[in-house]
Structure 1
Amino acid sequence: MSYPSSNLRNWFDQGGQAYARFRPEYPTELASYLASLAPDRLLAVDVGCGNGQLTRLLAEHFDAVVGFDPSADQIAHTAPQQNVNYACAPAEGLPLLDRSASLITAAQAAHWFDLPRFYAEVHRVAAPSAILALISYGVLRLDGALGERFEQFYWQEIGPYWPAERKLVDSGYATLDFPFAEFPGPDIAIRLEWNLEEFLGYVSTWSAVRSAREAGREDLLHDFAADMAGHWGDPATRHLVSWPINMRIGRV
């Protein structure tokens, strides 16, 4: 079964809802683990929350959760939840009371922050013995020929179009300054089974894809989509896709 060529041409032109639809969800065990570290379950704060992927998982463990993101578009795609509030705010200026947050998280976002100013806010809003967790997920993994073609695309073809901050994500934030009492987290991964549309939809959300299009290199995208379709088999077939979760965790 072949994939219609018109769909391959348009796979990266998903519109504003693609981020909410295709970004991988964090596993519930991540929120459970983070909650187990907090000194109490009163308030969790998710900074750079996007459309609330981690925020809503934390809501299962805390009396109240607040998600902040500087993008009104991201906040507009959050889902209402009884004990969760969302607001537009930068990481460096959180509209929170002093010493109020038991857990502060930043998932796939800290590489965009002005870290010294963000850390100053963390110290201000953190309750005694609060936990700060900077979370990222690593490069997507696929098996076999799919994985080989994806790695070629990621590291060699689309690589030059990533912003410089992306290197921080690829390293699991290992090189970020982290002036807190740090301890290692457990091995946790995101694991999904995706069809071809879901896989290409996820790739379409990358800032590097937008940059490549703006640079007139849509040929890279078309060739990659066609090659992946050829390796995928039936486009409805679901292949295992995984991302290792990296964490910098500290007690404030």
Structure 2
Amino acid sequence: MPAFKDHFSTAAAGYAAHRPRYPQALADFLADAAPARDLALDVGCGSGQFSLTLAERFAGVVATDASAAQIGGATPHPGIAYRVAPAERSGLPGASVDLITAAQAAHWFDLDAFYAETRRVARPRAVVALISYGVPRIEDAAADAVLGQFHHGTLAPYWPAERRHVEDGYRALPFPFAALEAPRLAIAVAWRLAELIGYVETWSAVRAAERAVGRAPVEAFRAALTGVWGDPEAAKPVRWPLALRVGRAP
């Protein structure tokens, strides 16, 4: 099994503070499709951005991540059991889970091993969902252009190879489950300047660029975005369309 590629432990605090939560409509769709709502397994959970949403619909959620720092920064919830564990070894009993999710995480997994674990823990007709989102769109043309240039231009040499799967909405990943049609959904927030910059600082390519050339590219981006934002306390709509691969275990 390949070694765990840890791109996020060093930014765990920022990840917990600045990564967006997923819409309740996504958890509702998955919960309604699941054979029961006793237990959901959220794999590669980070600091619990989707785990917390799932906890609104499932009696219990087990949320796992290979990064102890990410789990340490997760928001406690009485219905969620956070565990440090790789995606490929949940530690759960066989045939015990109604829903298995991986939100913005599956591109880091050993997929063959993860799918074997998914089949092992899934109850009959359990739902499996891979969820991803790419570059957010800002409802301000000038700010959106600055963000796009930073992501696609400045940071292009620094994105890990796995990022290509996020860019294509996981369409190229194998998905050996009976497909379910998923609704069109998006994460939508209204963010001030500092919130958007805080989110961008969580990107793996930002940390790779810092290691290679220092903070200059990030500071140039910050200055450019500040220059077009206007009042830094003004909240602007930000939207991430979700890409969903949803299926049903045997």
Q: Is the structural similarity TM-score above 0.5?
A: yes
Matches within 5 A, 1:35-184: 35-142=31-138, 143-184=140-181
1:7 counterpart residue number:
none
Task: Report the Cα distance in structure 1 between the residues aligned to 2:35 and 2:11, rounded to whole angstroms.
Answer: 41
- CA separation of 1:58/1:16 partners in 2, compared to 1, >3 Å: closer, same or farther? closer
SS of equivalent residue, structure 1 residue 90: coil
Percent identical pairs in the alignment equals 50
Aligned to 2:239: 242
Query: What is the deviation of 1:150?
Result: 1.3
Structure 1: which 4+ aligned runs deviate by more than 3 Å? Answer: none
CA deviation after TM superposition for structure 1 residue 217, in Å: 4.5
**Residues 16-42 of structure 1 deviation map (CA, whole Å, 9 limit, x = unaligned):** 411111101111111111101100111
Aligned length: 239
Asked if the contact 1:30/1:188 (under 8 Å) is kept, the reply is yes
Q: Matches of 2:12 and 2:55 in 1, distance apart? A: 25
Q: Return the offset for 1:138.
A: 2.0
Unaligned runs of 5+ in 1: 1-13
Whole-Å separation in 2 of the counterparts to 1:38 and 1:162: 35
User: Which amino acid letter does the alignment assign opposite residue 163 of structure 2?
Assistant: R
TM-score, length basis structure 1: 0.92
Distance 1:60 1:152 in 2: 37
1:216 equivalent in alignment to 2:213: yes
Change (3 A) 1:94 1:213: same
AA partner of residue 93 (structure 2): L
**AA at the equivalent of 2:150:** F
- Any gaps of 5 or more consecutive residues in structure 2? 1-9
2:13 partner amino acid: Q
Residue of structure 2 aligned with 1:23, choices 9, 19, 24: 19
Q: Secondary structure at the match of 1:17?
A: helix
Shift of 1:57: 1.1
**116-125 vs 181-190, which moves further:** 181-190
In the TM superposition, residue 15 of structure 1 has moved relative to its aligned partner by 6.0
Aligned counterparts of 1:149 and 1:44: Cα–Cα separation in 2: 38
SS at 2:46 equivalent = coil
Whether 1:196 aligns to 2:202 is no
Which structure is higher in RCO with an 8 Å CA cutoff and minimum separation 6?
A: 1
Residues 68 and 91 of structure 1 are in contact (CA less than 8 Å); yes or no, is this contact kept in structure 2? yes
